[in-house]
């Protein structure tokens, strides 16, 4: 059974600091997705990572994928308050189009 674990579950950080959210998964996959959800809102797709070593960046967020380690990271650089949200990773069971989500990381950036 494919399991996806995120850590930390909660993260409170100061503006201007850097931090990393980790997403571990338990079986072979080379498809990983990151999403953002603002409180009371819907989901927004952030990144699609499709191969080992894939790296994508958008603004202060950078995501990477290591399929050998079954690990993806979402790195936050010089955090700002607007990044406060819950971040989810999801893994596609290889070749199935079925997605398993992590538990989410609730990020709070303090001014």
- What is the longest distance spanned by two Cα atoms in the chain? 43
From CA 89, how far away is CA 15, in angstroms rounded?
A: 23
Task: Name which of 7, 46, 54, 62 is nearest 30 in CA terms.
Answer: 54
And the tokens for 47?
Answer: 């990144």
- Of these, 88, 105, 107, 109, which contacts another protein (CB under 8 A)? 88
Give least dist CB 29 to another protein, A: 10
77: enclosing H helix or E strand: none
**Pairing between strand 85-93 and 32-37?**
antiparallel
Based on CB atoms, which residue is closest to another protein, 44 or 82?
44
Build a one-symbol-per-residue string for 2-41: x at contacts with another protein by CB under 8 A, - elsewhere: -----------------------------x---------x
Segment contacting another protein (CB under 8 A): 11-19, 57-65, 73-81, 86-94? 86-94
Interface residues toward another protein, by CB under 8 A: 31, 41-45, 48, 50, 88, 90, 92, 96-101, 103-104
């Amino acid at each position: 059974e494919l399991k996806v674990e995120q850590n930390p579950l909660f993260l409170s950080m100061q503006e201007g600091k850097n931090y990393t959210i980790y997403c571990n998964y338990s079986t072979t996959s080379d498809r990983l997705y990151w999403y953002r959800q603002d409180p009371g809102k819907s989901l927004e797709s952030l990144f699609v990572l499709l191969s080992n070593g894939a790296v994508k960046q958008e603004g202060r967020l950078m995501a990477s994928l290591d399929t050998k380690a079954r690990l993806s990271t979402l790195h936050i650089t010089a955090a700002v308050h607007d990044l406060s949200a819950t971040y989810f990773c999801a893994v596609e069971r290889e070749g199935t189009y079925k997605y398993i989500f992590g538990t989410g990381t609730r990020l709070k950036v303090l001014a």
